[in-house]
């Protein structure tokens, strides 16, 4: 019976630790936050972005491959609420924005 409690406690711990690992961060808190924000500010006319579009961007996911290329997926927000399917992709290589696919809404 004691073994069942230990297994249950272990499973609960794993369940809650998984939620911590998938927690979302703002772009400013991320590894490439300053680099990406500077790039978006410099090119906001090209991508039809407003200053409000660059506030409270959430990093949805990110990873790096074996070649040292990092892929960052950004989710646009409005008043702290995530906008469905407004996810842009940023590729960083050699500490420079190598590619940006804008999927932010302009409304």
pLDDT per residue as tens digits for the range 27-50: 989 999 999 999 999 999 999 999
Supply the pLDDT for residue 18.
47
* CA-wise closest residue to 92 among 37, 49, 29, 17: 37
CB 63 within 8 A of CB 48: no
Tell me which residues of the chain have a pLDDT lower than 50: 18-22
């Amino acid at each position: 019976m004691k073994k069942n409690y230990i297994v249950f406690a272990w499973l609960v711990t794993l369940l809650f630790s998984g939620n911590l690992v998938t927690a979302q961060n703002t772009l400013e808190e991320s590894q490439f936050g300053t680099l990406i924000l500077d790039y978006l500010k410099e090119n906001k006319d090209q991508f039809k972005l407003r200053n409000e579009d660059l506030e409270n961007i959430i990093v949805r996911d990110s990873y790096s491959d074996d070649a040292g290329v990092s892929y960052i997926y950004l989710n646009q927000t409005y008043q702290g609420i995530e906008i469905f399917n407004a996810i842009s992709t940023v590729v960083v290589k050699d500490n420079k924005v190598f590619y940006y696919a804008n999927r932010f809404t302009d409304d």
